[in-house]
Amino acid sequence: MLAEIITIGDEILIGQIIDSNSAWMAQQLNAAGIRVKQISSVSDDRDHIITALKEASQRADIILITGGLGPTKDDITKTTLAGYFGVGMKRDQETLDNVARIFAKYNRPLLEVNISQADVPENCEVLINKNGTAPGMWFQEDGKVYVSMPGVPFEMMYLMEELVIPKLKATFKLPKILHQTILTFGEGESFLAERIADIEDQLPPKIKLAYLPNLGQVRLRLSAYGDNEEQLKQQLKIQTQKITQRLGSVVAATEDIPLQKAILLLMAKNKQTLSLAESCTGGYLSHLFTSLPGASGVFLGAAVSYSYKMKERMLGVNADTLWETGAVSEQTVREMAEGALRNFSSDYAIAVTGIAGPDGGTEDKPVGTVWIAVARKDKMIANKYVFGSKRIQNIERTAITAMSDLLKLLREPK
Amino acid sequence: MLAEIITIGDEILIGQIIDSNSAWMAQQLNAAGIRVKQISSVSDDRDHIITALKEASQRADIILITGGLGPTKDDITKTTLAGYFGVGMKRDQETLDNVARIFAKYNRPLLEVNISQADVPENCEVLINKNGTAPGMWFQEDGKVYVSMPGVPFEMMYLMEELVIPKLKATFKLPKILHQTILTFGEGESFLAERIADIEDQLPPKIKLAYLPNLGQVRLRLSAYGDNEEQLKQQLKIQTQKITQRLGSVVAATEDIPLQKAILLLMAKNKQTLSLAESCTGGYLSHLFTSLPGASGVFLGAAVSYSYKMKERMLGVNADTLWETGAVSEQTVREMAEGALRNFSSDYAIAVTGIAGPDGGTEDKPVGTVWIAVARKDKMIANKYVFGSKRIQNIERTAITAMSDLLKLLREPK
């Protein structure tokens, strides 16, 4: 079963907002066994919307539309839909009651433009929106389903979860789609593809493999399509095992999580703690860990030591080391890691120091030069890397590389 | 001049990633005087891609395509484009050299699949991608321009900024669009709109005003459209002055910069230094400042003190304070700010401590409770806020509120 998503409105087209609604809707649809064929963002323009509806209905059986339902003049979705289906408008009493209820709740006067929110195309079944004044609308024409929803995320989410997905499940016989993600680190897409070429060639026809690369990590996603859920689960399990066994130590996780979460889960399981000494990453590594719920069980804290003095005071780096070898040197990064282990009493520590750029490089230490140390009481590994010339990318690459180095150390026996 | 953006690949269609590339590209295009008519996300399917290209070329003159350029089997954009244009493939030497250079730099063996990244449709002009192995491609057919770029954000951004936008400007006669942004903080969109309603009503016809709200900040963007650049500049200047005078102290900057940059610029001008004591924001505030080039002139460092011990050791917070008032209290946040000023010898300090969630709340300190202190030697201001129940949003709201509080203190006379 195929669906398409059409978002209406200029905010996305001028880059003012990022279309996070569609990603969320796509997840919900996939989980219900409905594949999304295309997502289109179109302008507040009647002809353009009608063309998009026609094109979508030629490819898919389910067309979900968001946006363009507010009370202001530029919101034209409803009359455009009536035109598309060749019907007139009707005033829906239940919607009017809902609008009146919401205005009474907030003690606001009910204006004519608000009353007109209860006007809907004659052929629609209204989906009452408990979180807002714009109604959802369900159309069934020529075996296709069209659903129109407001673009405000929590209103759309309410309608999708409570009304649209259940109604789609009741209307169509849906196949199952299951996904399994394998997170790898430290190797490129092409290296991985060559390592598992024969496994990929022999995948059962119902299973597809996709490579999703991103800065030092590649996610391998297996998707299984069919009717027999148990059989699909079994097949996914077998293929996941084959691939993880073949790829061995470059596999960080067999779920769809970022590298920092794989590290936190592993350290939490082993009751280990972590502290950081960050120079060039400037708090970004800490932020990656602390964005995750439950981080405080593992992550004790970090010294973001941007100046020489902060490296001395928070981490006990030797002033002579800094003046003789510089802030970006093996000796400094080692003393930073030692200082973090000692001062913060953590089981593990990461220290990073480098030249993020765009300025500050020298001939023997160009912009992008980074030293990373990962340490525990009995072992320390320090590596030098040379990344590019762009500041943000250097920060991100340093962070992902530091996490990769830590994961390797975490797996080494004591 | 109209453009369309087509993203290729299943990641967006299954909701695994949010399409932030398209929003960024739309911003760049708009700034260059090119309107985006439609954004479409389509699957890794040859026929589907060709249909999308045909439809887009009927509506727009510029078609920008991202994704599907990796070396693995699921990446089919290149051969599909060759099919669309009815041409064969060629091996591009410059691209091959670029691929070889990148593999040599990272000491990786060059595999056959990597070499095939240099194969491109015969009719394309290659745009060398210095940040990756997949080339950009520029096609000009029947007066339309098609550009294919990798979907990895920083590779796409490099190609857009360095090559695609300049080439589009050289190829088409684009109208002038000048933008002037006024960054405001601490007040909502409707409040601002009411304050400047009369100025907005009297704007010259060539000037448009847009409100771009985002978490405690609203950017007002004035856009001037026309041919006479000098006249547009002059008109923008007059309107900007009118609005900034009216809005007064809620204006943080009259350029398109984030709040952290407005703070850094002001502090650098006044030769002031800053240190941070972060608990619930977990390094995010430091990251916001250190993402900016030149941060080290102002930002000395931060203590990311996630545990009680770290608050005591790095910031000298009294153990009694922590045990008696808790980590999220006025007394603790004040001691954190004092500790940062004292231990890190900075002119100004921000301290934040709170319950980011989703767990850890109590009846009198629910999830979302945050204390923020901003301080200098002669003055400290501590405020309590209660945000929502979502972790990431709480971290972001705390950071933006802390920066707003700091900016207010920076403006207070000593």
Render pLDDT for B283-308 as a digit per residue (tens, 0 to 9): 999 999 999 999 999 999 999 999 99
Q: Are residues A274 and A319 in the same domain?
A: yes
Q: Which of B120, B140, B171 is the last residue before a domain boundary?
A: B171
CB distance B244 to B182 below 8 Å: yes
Provide the chain B residues 89-108 that lie in CB contact (below 8 A) with chain A: 108
CA distance A17 to chain B (A): 7
Provide the chain B residues 16-35 that lie in CB contact (below 8 A) with chain A: 16-20, 22-28, 30, 35
Task: Please give the pLDDT value at position A72.
Answer: 58
Residue B223 has pLDDT above 70, yes or no: yes
Q: Are residues B187 and B205 in the same domain?
A: yes
pLDDT, mean over chain B? 92
Q: What is the full DSSP assignment across B181-229?
A: EEEEESS-HHHHHHHTHHHHHT--TTEEEEEEEETTEEEEEEEEEES-H
Q: Which of B191, B218, B253 is the last residue before a domain boundary?
A: B253
Kindly report the CATH number assigned to the domain that includes residue A234: 3.30.70.2860
Q: Which of B253, B276, B311 is the last residue before a domain boundary?
A: B253
Binary contact (B296, A306; C-beta < 8 A)? yes
Mutate to test the interface with A, among B1, B2, B10 (most CBs of A within 10 A): B10
Binary contact (A52, B38; C-beta < 8 A)? yes
Task: Give the angle subtended at the CA of A13 by the CAs of A9 and A17, to the nearest 5°.
Answer: 85
Binary contact (A20, B23; C-beta < 8 A)? no
Q: Are residues B138 and B183 in the same domain?
A: no
What total number of domains does chain A contain? 3
Q: Are residues B33 and B111 in the same domain?
A: yes
Nearest Cα residue to B351 out of B374, B322, B370: B374
Render pLDDT for A135-181 as a digit per residue (tens, 0 to 9): 999 999 999 999 999 988 888 999 999 999 999 999 998 888 888 99
Residues β-bridged to residue A349: A275, A375
Kindly report the CATH number assigned to the domain that includes residue B347: 3.90.950.20
Q: Are residues A231 and A364 in the same domain?
A: no
- Residue identified by tokens 């030629």 is A58
Nearest by CB to residue B39, choosing from A13, A190, A314, is A13
Nearest Cα residue to A351 out of A365, A363, A364, A341: A341
Exposed e or buried b for every residue in A237-250, given b needs 16+ CB within 10 A?
eebbeebbeebeeb
Q: Are residues B150 and B266 in the same domain?
A: no
Task: Please give the pLDDT value at position A14.
Answer: 85
CA distance B68 to chain A (A): 10
Mutate to test the interface with A, among B105, B208, B287 (most CBs of A within 10 A): B287
Q: Are residues A246 and A356 in the same domain?
A: no
* Complex ipTM tops 0.85: no
A42 to chain B, any CB pair closer than 8 A? The answer is: yes
Confidence grade of residue B190 (pLDDT, cut at 50, 70, 90): confident
- Residue identified by tokens 């030069």 is A369
Residue B278 has pLDDT above 70, yes or no: yes
Q: Are residues A17 and A63 in the same domain?
A: yes
Confidence grade of residue B131 (pLDDT, cut at 50, 70, 90): confident
Binary contact (A193, B37; C-beta < 8 A)? no
**Which residues have C-beta within 8 Å of that of residue B207, sequence separation ≥ 6?**
B222, B223, B224, B235, B236, B239
Identify the domain containing residue A276 by its residue range: 259-411
Q: Are residues B229 and B293 in the same domain?
A: no
Nearest Cα residue to A389 out of B162, B109, B55: B162
Q: Are residues A343 and A373 in the same domain?
A: yes
- 3-class DSSP assignment, residue A380: strand
Task: Please give the pLDDT value at position B73.
Answer: 60
Binary contact (B23, A15; C-beta < 8 A)? yes
Task: Please give the pLDDT value at position B211.
Answer: 79
Kindly report the CATH number assigned to the domain that includes residue B12: 3.40.980.10
CA atoms in the 13 A half-sphere facing the CB of A412: 16
In A248-300, where does DSSP find H-type helix? 259-269, 284-290
B68 to chain A, any CB pair closer than 8 A? The answer is: no
- In chain A, which residues have pLDDT < 50? none
Span B339-346, mean pLDDT?
96
Q: Are residues A200 and A138 in the same domain?
A: no
- 3-class DSSP assignment, residue A285: helix
Task: Please give the pLDDT value at position B341.
Answer: 97
Q: Are residues A233 and A279 in the same domain?
A: no
- 3-class DSSP assignment, residue A8: strand
Nearest Cα residue to B276 out of B383, B356, B351: B351
